[in-house]
Amino acid sequence: MTAAGRNDGGPVPLREVSTPAEARAWRSERREAGERIAFVPTMGNLHRGHLSLVRLAREYAERVVVSIFVNPTQFAEDEDYGAYPRTPEDDRELLREAGVDLLFTPSAETVYPFGETAATRLHVPGLSEDLCGRFRPGHFDGVATVVCRLFCMVMPDVAVFGQKDYQQFLIIRRMTRDLSMPIGIVLAPTVREDDGLAFSSRNRYLSEAERRAAPELHGALGEIRESLLTGDRDYAALEERALARLAVAGFEPDYVGVRDARDLRAPSAQTRELVVLAAARLGRARLIDNLLVRV
Ligand code: PAF
C-alpha 143 to ligand 1 mean position (Å): 6
pLDDT category, 36, cuts 50, 70, 90? very high
Atom index in ligand 1 nearest the CA of residue 201 equals: 3
Q: Is 50 a catalytic residue?
A: yes
pLDDT digits (tens, 9 = 90+) for 59-96: 999 999 999 999 999 999 999 999 999 999 999 999 99
Atom index in ligand 1 nearest the CA of residue 41 equals: 8
Smallest CA-to-CA distance from 3 within 67, 66, 61, 65 is with: 61
Shortest-distance Cα residue to atom 1 of ligand 1:
42
CB 159 within 8 A of CB 183: yes
Q: How far apart are CA 85 and CA 205, in angstroms?
A: 9
Ligand 1 binding pocket mutation candidate from 147, 148, 170 (most atoms within 8 A of CB):
147
pTM: 0.95
Q: Which of 47, 50, 139, 218 is catalytic?
A: 50
pLDDT at 28 over 90: yes
Ligand 1 pocket by Cβ (under 6 Å): 41-43, 71, 74, 143, 146-147, 165, 168
pLDDT category, 1, cuts 50, 70, 90? very low
Q: What is the DSSP string of 105-141?
A: ---HHHH-TT-STTS-----TTTSSSTHHHHSTTHHH
Atom index in ligand 1 nearest the CA of residue 143 equals: 9
Residue 10: per-residue pLDDT? 60
Residue 5: per-residue pLDDT? 45
